[in-house]
Structure 1
Amino acid sequence: MCKTLRVRWTITPRTAPQPWIACGGCGGPRAFRASGKIRLNANGRKLDAWLIYKCMSCERTWNRAIFERRNLRDIDPMILDALQSNDPDWIRTETFNLDALRRKSQRIDESAEFDIVKEVRHEPAGWTNLEIELAAPFPTNARLDRLLAGELKMSRSRLQALRNQALCRTDPDRADIMRRRIRNGTLVTIDLAVEAEREQLWKALATGAPCNRRSTRHEHDDPAPS
């Protein structure tokens, strides 16, 4: 019988990556933010498309090429429609295209701040295990150990102790996964069979539901360097 409380955490960064580009207005490298706008230029059957960025200091614009001199028949119709309509969802996805940004900039600022939505996928009676599925639709700079420690209100040293005792497992199972960025589709399973407060404290923390426990004392690690 499956006795696993399954939840999904969807993690969404609050701020898109900000590349550092030489700014003609400021006279040196500055951080640029995406404006959420697309610029198109048609030349016969050829099309140029750029994502417009603005300097964080002086608002001067920089156009990051999405493609240049692309034949219209070679462009996916859905992408072409998104470009022509300035589709905000498509543009937001493109602002998180780190590979494209790294080809243009040697420094990219990424914020570790994010929003999180927690939802219950399956809750059997008498559950003893907690399984967390991580959904990360955009690249995030947050580390897995910091996410789990922060959301489950435990120290990272205790989290590591659970790993050492095989009470906290991950899929994929790699030695350094806790120190790496959150990856979409990662599964974290924690054995809580001996935790008396799993129905009150652990469930509330994992699902975002109100906690019925009167008072709780938490441990916190000092921030560790990235």
Structure 2
Amino acid sequence: MSHTLTVQWTIEPQTAPRPWLACSRCGGQRAFVCSGKTRLNANGRRLDAWLIYRCAVCEDTWNRPIFERRTVTSVAPDALAALQSNDPAWIRQVAFDIEGLRQCTDRIEDLADSSVERRVLGGTVDSARLEIVVVARHASSPRVDRLLSAELALSRARLTKLEAAGRVTLLPESRKALQRPIRDGCRIVLDLTAEDDRAEIAQRARGGP
């Protein structure tokens, strides 16, 4: 029998990152929220495209550039179709592109609300070791400590003690594991040997009955 319960957690952030920008109407820095709408403009034979954001306070708009001054033939057909139809899946992908957003602002508010889909890959709740394989397709993801605290119902203080005892590791990176952001393909390993409630923790990790 395996001594490790291995589960896969697929993480889907619920709220897109919010850039902080100078709002002309508010007169100060404000968080801007993705509206889920795009704007496509033709200027002669050139195209400009933006993703529309609104101030979280006054709803003033900011147009985030997707591309500028591009010829029609240089734009991928699926991207052009998505822009013309305001395709939600394509817009979500752009909205969660933090690296692209960093080209527009230095301050980005990355909200930690995420849904987690669980799948057991092996082992049972009686296992003394828990390994969580993370699937995170979007760069916007919570830190390890926030994820474990929310999904396993473990306090931050308890997680810190487990890490200090060398019983929480993050692969491939393990130094200061709890402070690391979740990344696609990473593995979180918890040694629950000395935990009296390890079966309950394992049950929460695997989900279901």
TM range (shorter): 0.7 to 0.9
RMSD: 2.5
Q: Distance in 1 between matches of 2:126 and 2:108?
A: 47
Task: Out of 158-167 and 81-90, give the one that drifted further.
Answer: 158-167
Report how far residue 143 of structure 1 moved: 1.6
Counterpart residue type for residue 202 of structure 2: K
Paired residue for 2:208?
209
User: What's 1:177 paired with?
Assistant: 177
Aligned to 1:25: 25
Matches within 5 A, 1:50-199: 50-123=50-123, 127-140=127-140, 142-193=142-193, 197-198=197-198
SS of 2:105's partner is coil
User: How high is the sequence identity, in percent, across the aligned residues?
Assistant: 46
Q: After superposing the two structures, state which structure 1 stretch, 187-196 or 48-57, moved more.
A: 187-196
Greater shift in the superposed pair: 115-124 or 52-61: 115-124
Q: Which runs of 5+ in 1 are unaligned?
A: 211-226
Task: Give 3-state SS (helix, strand or coil) of 1:139's partner.
Answer: coil
Please tell me whether the aligned partners of residues 134 and 185 of structure 1 are also in contact (alpha carbons under 8 angstroms).
yes
Counterpart secondary structure, 2:138: coil
* Superposition TM-score, scaled by structure 2 size: 0.84
Conserved 8 A contact 2:12-2:138: yes
Q: Secondary structure at the match of 2:66?
A: strand
Q: Which residue of 2 aligns with 1:220?
A: none
Contact 1:36–1:92 (8 Å) recurs in 2 = yes
- Against the structure 1 CA distance between its residues 110 and 74, is the aligned structure 2 distance closer, same or farther, given a 3 Å change threshold? same
Amino acid at match of 2:200: L
CA distance in 2, matches of 1:49, 1:169: 43
Query: How big is the shift at 1:194?
Result: 5.4
CA displacement at 1:193 relative to structure 2: 4.7
- For these two proteins, the number of residue pairs brought into alignment is 209
44 and 2 in structure 1: CA distance in 2 versus 1, 3 angstrom threshold: farther
In structure 2, relative to structure 1, the CA distance for the partners of 1:195 and 1:180 (3 Å cut) is: closer
Letter aligned with residue 78 of structure 2: M
